[in-house]
Chains A and B, each alone.
Chain A
Amino acid sequence: GDSVTQMEGPVTLSEEAFLTINCTYTATGYPSLFWYVQYPGEGLQLLLKATKADDKGSNKGFEATYRKETTSFHLEKGSVQVSDSAVYFCALSDQGGAQKLVFGQGTRLTINP
């Protein structure tokens, strides 16, 4: 079945550091790919998405590119802030977004000032 594998955490960085969180997937067909973020005490929020190969999703300084050849969707940010501290989930949805989301295990990110 479909699956998502994320870089294990926790990840701790200093403010203004470069961030990469790795995500690879296994799926039949051509899934849509997502990054969700979960701030402390809050629900999951969509951070960015990409629906086809070579698409780049971006939001709030975060970017991820849908790489079909490497089945990857790595999350990057050039300069992280303390407010980026959260848990990040990579997810896929096959047959369009109406179907279930399959999530990775999440990566906890802590940014120190």
Chain B
Amino acid sequence: EAGVVQSPRYKIIEKKQPVAFWCNPISGHNTLYWYLQNLGQGPELLIRYENEEAVDDSQLPKDRFSAERLKGVDSTLKIQPAELGDSAVYLCASSLGGQGRENIQYFGAGTRLSVL
């Protein structure tokens, strides 16, 4: 069974340029998460989707970041314009969903963004 797939794995851009990351969750997983991982730190949630609805986007900097999950399957995270401080690893995760305490999040390999 395929895991969470993210692309690209690496992206180098100049500041003020736009950038987009793509995530395909595990088949059948209703919940999709985007996390930001700064160097030497643990991941922090940016946004969580239940199917196509964003149910927690309180930590998403909405002035420059946007995300979509139009058909409740794959998702795109966009930054426009990128700033030097956006250099980090962007992680996507998925889970079956629901309120069960056994619900497990599975992570993709991430996209490492470098803004020059």
Contact = CB atoms under 8 A, between A and B. Distances in A.
Interface residues of B, number: 30
A51 B101 contact: yes
A46 interface: yes
Contacts, number: 67
B24 to A, nearest CB: 13
A99 to B, nearest CB: 8
Contacts of A96: 98-101, 103
A96 B31 CA distance: 13
B104 to A, nearest CB: 6
B6 to A, nearest CB: 8
Interface in B25-58: 31, 33, 35, 40-45, 48, 56
Contact of A106 (B31, B40, B109): B40
A101 to B, nearest CB: 6
A51 B102 contact: yes
Contacts of B109: 41-43
A40 B108 CA distance: 13
Contact of B42 (A46, A99, A104): A104
B41 A106 contact: yes
Interface residues of A, number: 25
B59 to A, nearest CB: 9
Main secondary structure of the interface of B (DSSP, over half): loop
Contacts of B103: 96-98
Nearest to B109: A43
Contact of A44 (B40, B41, B48, B91): B91
A21 B100 CA distance: 27
Interface of B: 3-4, 31, 33, 35, 40-45, 48, 56, 91, 93, 95, 97-110
30 contacts: A36-B107, A42-B109, A43-B3, A43-B4, A43-B107, A43-B108, A43-B110, A44-B43, A44-B91, A46-B105, A49-B104, A51-B102, A95-B99, A96-B100, A97-B95, A98-B95, A98-B97, A98-B100, A98-B103, A100-B33, A100-B45, A100-B48, A101-B35, A101-B43, A103-B42, A103-B43, A103-B44, A105-B41, A106-B40, A106-B41
